[in-house]
Amino acid sequence: MIGSLDQAPEAAVQAALAQATGKTAARDLAREGTLVQLGVLTAFWIYVTVSNLLYAHNMSLSLDPGGRQHLFAAWPARSLQHLLLYPVLLLCVELSLRIGWRPWPQRVPLQAVLALVFALLASPLLGVSEHLLGDSMQLSQPDDRMNMPWQGPQSELPLRIASATNFLLTYGFALALVSGFSLYQRFRDSELRRAALERAWNAARLAALRMQLSPHTLFNLLHTIRGQIAWDPDAAQHMIVQLGDLLRRLLAAGEVEFTPLASEIEFAGLYLGLQQQRFADRLTLSLPDPLTLPGAWVPSLILQPLIENAVVHGLAGHSDPVTISIEAQSDARQLRVVVRNTYGPDIAAGRSGIGLRNVRERLAVHFGGTGTLRAQAEQPGVWAAVVQLPLLREPTAATATASVAT
What pLDDT is attached to residue 68?
57
What pLDDT is attached to residue 40?
86
Residues facing residue 329 across a β-bridge: 336
Q: 283 φ, ψ to 5°?
A: -100, 125
Amino acid identity at 152:
G
- For the chain, list residues with pLDDT below 70: 1-30, 64-71, 102, 135-156, 202-217, 220, 253-254, 347-352, 395-406
What pLDDT is attached to residue 265?
92
247-253 CB contacts, 8 Å cutoff, 24+ apart: 247/2, 247/218, 249/406, 250/2, 250/214, 250/217, 250/301, 251/2, 251/3, 251/214, 252/405, 252/406, 253/210, 253/300, 253/301, 253/406
What is this structure's pTM? 0.52
Q: How far apart (Å, rounded) are the C-alpha atoms in residues 105 and 111?
A: 11
* Residues belonging to the chain: 406
What pLDDT is attached to residue 30?
64
What pLDDT is attached to residue 126?
85
Per-residue pLDDT tens digits for 21-56: 545 655 665 677 778 888 888 999 999 999 888 888
